[in-house]
Structure formats: structure tokens, C-alpha cells
Structure 1
């Protein structure tokens, strides 16, 4: 058995979802919207399925979709892509991350990661033979500090993985932070794998800056149609980067999933043609939901951290007067009717701050029931 996977236990995401189902609790843990995506995009997928073709599409993705991805990023993020040489469609962003790490890491290479982090990063790096070098960011603003970032690099650094906006912290990296990181990558001859799946989920006027704009020839940017269009189960992702990176990436991609369902690719091509008003309305809806949940919690004495990107917000347990660890409170809360995620699930090392992550991509009644259950849990803590 492979030791990387043999060492992994059941994820807290699976555990909390199971407990929520068993106890009939509100699930503010798992990170997906409660509504099932725009009807017109679903209908586009249905038409594409019925009309066909439904056989293997090209390994790098349907040309129409790759052109649509390039056009989308040219218009939205000032990134000019050659769709034929610099765009590959993947079976979700996680597959793209795996392909990138397998493509770019040699055994023994060091990979800089920033904690808290998506729980797939560390096992993927290790499976590819890399050595994780993990730098811990600090709440409440989770900024990249130059001295600490410099210390994480060495002459063995070959890949840096970033996530902006960052799940679970809901923070957004600034242009200045990205430029500082880019300079270090040039100095150390490192590649950036930039997980930008939350690029359209921004609040309070926050701006998404793509690392691909800052470090054009050394960045592989990853996007997600599932996050853009609230269709997380579709698993359609985009990888974008310079031809030298993309050619190497495609060699790994072809031996993972090879390709992605053609009906979903055609539906995503349709979706990327939506007007800017769709994205504005999506952000406004999520921001309204965030404010509804945060206001309900604040009124009951909870303290939450700033949430500028992605549809998550964190409760600061000590500041809220709760003297429990994040894991203990999460187990306690589900007994009072709400599933949450302890922030330690996003840390590879001990000593995570006592925070609880909540997903607010839910209907009003779900948010209200979740807030009420959290109040009950707080009073009983």
C-alpha cells in the first residue's frame, strides 16, 4: 500500500456531513451552494447530452471551450492567452492541481505551501515525491510577510502553491504580495501553481489579481466552472499557462483523466458567454447571505473574521467567549443542530487557531436555522 494514502484517515468533511445527516442537523460545513445552479446552464448541458456527440473529446478540451476560457480571462483579468497552446480543460480543479504537481515535481524537490490550505495539497505533493515546506499565515488578515516567505525558500524550491482567494480564511492576496512572491520565484527558478477557483467570489470591492498576470511565464493558473456557476459536482476546470508549462502539464493530465465529459464542456462554453451582470448578481447574492449570517451571529456575541473572498466565514472561538478547541466545539455544535468545519482540518501541523469555518452559500432559512443552532451550542458550551 502506498504510504502517503495509507497514513490518511477519514476526513473531517466526511465525518461532519455524516453526523449532520444522522442528527438531522443544518449543514454549514460542506462548501457547496444549496441551490443547484442556473437553470439555463443545466438546460444547455441537457441539450448537449441529447444532441451529442458524447464520445471522447480532444485531450486538451473542446476547441470552443478553450477559446471561451481565453476570451473570459482576456476580458475579466487582462490576461491574454493563446487558446491553442495555453489552455487545457480538466476534470475539475483538483485534477488540475494533481496534474500540475506530478508534472512539475521531481523527487526531493521542495514545494512551498501556505497554511491554512486545501487538504489535498500536502498528500498530492508527497505522492509526487516533493517535500512540503509549509509557511503558516496568521489571522485575522492572513498576509504574506516577506521575511517569513523568504525563509521558506531554499535552493531546492521548485514549486510554490498559492490559493487566492484562500479557502478557508476567505482572504485575498494583494498585488503587492503576489509581486513579492513572484520576485522570489524568479530568483529561485520556481514555478507557481496558482489555485484561483474562487476568483469570482469576492466581496466588499475586493479585486482578484491573477498570478498569471504578475508572473506570466512561470505560473500555471487553475480555474473552476463549478465555483463560477455553482455547479460543484460537474468537476470542470481550466489550466492556463505558458506553452512550456502547458505541454508538460498536458502529459500528466492525459494519464489521469485524459479528458472531461463533452456535454459538460459545451454547457460551460455556453455559461462563459454570460454577461458581467451574472457575476455581479452572484457576488451580491453571496455577500447578502454572508451579511445575514454574520449579523445574526454578531447579535448573539460571536466574533467573526473578515471574509473578502470565497463563500466562507470563520468564528473566532476565544474572542466569542468559547473556551473549547475547534474540533471539540464542532462536535459539540452538531449535537445542537449544526455541522461546521474546525479550521484545524486545513492545517498539516498542530497548533491551529481555534476557529470554526461556516459556509454561507445557503438559503435564508438554512442560515437562520444554523445561526440559531450555533447560539444554542454557545450557551451550552
Structure 2
């Protein structure tokens, strides 16, 4: 059954997706609403003391990377409680709006981040499935959200002026990775340039939020970085794109890369200090283990009504990644006779294995496979 009243929110134009009164009330009523959200989501928030005068570099330099036991925190042992440890939260100006940028790591990360942000923050939601069929979308609507269809160019284009309108008075929370990061090697997926473009145009500062969740111990660790003023940021484009010219296009791209590095640094320090290490030798197929883990976790917490995984798990691929996949696909499909093999010494078996590995890493395919297996069982 579709959610009543809000299921068409993605089709509203800039003037009607929210109202001025709605923006005003959400801003003024944020504190009592946050308390309501904390109760509704069973959140227990533990805020650590931190010197807010330190720069990000100074903060990480003074950190001890030895692992910290979860018993060091007064965590609730109740099964339904979501423990949230906020390791760092910067000093933010009271009446200023910000572009909060979060890493997308698990189904709970949206509610966790909204629970700890200290001001009303509209969620940028690219999941029409959540909007239409998840009852929790009503609570997100009360908080404030901008919904768009990630696969439709017009919807993506309309998103920008909607965010600009909200940022005049309220903040926004956006996930530039596009979908949950289930990549086996990347701390942070490649990020889209939207937040940087928005910050350049509006003059608003970007505040990176990084979250790592320990599902077994039911605790999330959050690091909120210092605000980044991208308009006054000076970086050398050659550090990120050695062969490109320093023009506006690549200025946006290397600031996005800089932002991704900031978030990855935070994630690395959170993992090093809070997540138990494992030994590869203890797993017969460690990649398969983690794939099964994220698929089962997603299906246990999200109710999928339709095959929408192409949109739900859309991620950005760099030019190099696209070229690599194209080469692997091409070479793995070659049909070579014995004469060619002898004359060229070309063996495509390695590329067949690379292709299989790419297919194993494809999140959309993994989610879709599980969806149709479950659907078949229900018949």
C-alpha cells in the first residue's frame, strides 16, 4: 500500500515541495522534534568532549589509533536501542544554514545523522521506494525532505533550485555517494559533484559527517568535521588531476576529491579505533561473506516492493573505472583459436576471472538476485 498524501512529493515543483510556513516551523520546533525522533528511533546519544578549536589535521594528529573497547562507553544493552557515539562535533554558528554531507554506509545512517545534527536539516532523498512504501517516510516528511528521481534528468535538474530555497533559512543533509557503500575496497565511494556545485553557488559551508556502524554491538560512531568554505579553499588541481588544466570544471572535481579524502580519513580513524579486526584466513570466501552480509542486512531492514535497485544503488564511476570495465568485458569475451593463441601468446583466461570478479562486486545484481529468490519463495 502506498503512503497517503506524500507519495507524489517528488513531482512537486520548487514553489510547492515545501512551504515558507513549513520551513519556519521546522526550524523553530527542531529541538522538541529531535527529542521526539530520539524516542521514536530509540536513540541513545553519547557526545564525547572534544576541543572544537582544533583543525581537522590537528585533531587526527593527536588521536591515538589503538582500539577502544565499546565497554568504555555507557552503552545501553537493550536490543532495540540504537547507541550513537558522537566523537566530534564542531562549533557551528547558531543561525547559519549548512550543507551537511554524509557517507552512506547502512540503512540506519539517515536517522542516526539527523538525530545528532543540531538544527533543522532537510533530507535529500533519492529513494522513491522509501517515499511511496516505507511508513517511516512520514517522520522524515515531518523533519523536512526533498525527494527526487535519480534516474530522471528533469528531476535531478529541479533538485538544485529546491536545495537553494531551503538553504536560505534551513540546512540540508545529502549523501553524495549516491547509494550505500558496499564496495570491497573503498572507504568512501566516488562522490557526485552536487554538494560542491551547490556550495560554490550559494556560499554555504559544507560540513562532512562520517559514520561507521558496529551492527553486532548495536553502536554507531560518528565524526562531524569542521565546516569547509569551498569558495576560499585553495588547492592545486595537479594533486588530483596531474594531466588536466586548472579550469572551473576541474576545480569542482578536485574539491569533490578533497571532500572525499576528508570523509575517508574520518572513516579510517573510526574503523581503526572501534571495529574489531578480522583475519582473511578465517574465511573460505571472505568477499562472499561480506556480500551475503550486506544483502541480508538490507533486506532485513528495508521492505522492497519492486525491482528498483538500478536507482537505489546507483554509484559514480570514474573514467578510469569505466575504461577498465570495458577492457575486461571485451577481452573476456574473445573467442581465440589455437593458431591465434600460439602467434599472439594472448591468454584471455585472466580477463574471464576479472569479469567474474566484477560481476561478484556488482551491488545491483546481488540485490536483484536476492529479491527474485525471495519473490519466488513467496509463490
Q: TM-score of the superposition, structure 1-length normalised?
A: 0.33
> Relative contact order, CA 8 A, sep 6+: which one is greater?
1
Max Rg structure: 2
Give the TM-score normalised by the residue count of structure 2.
0.33
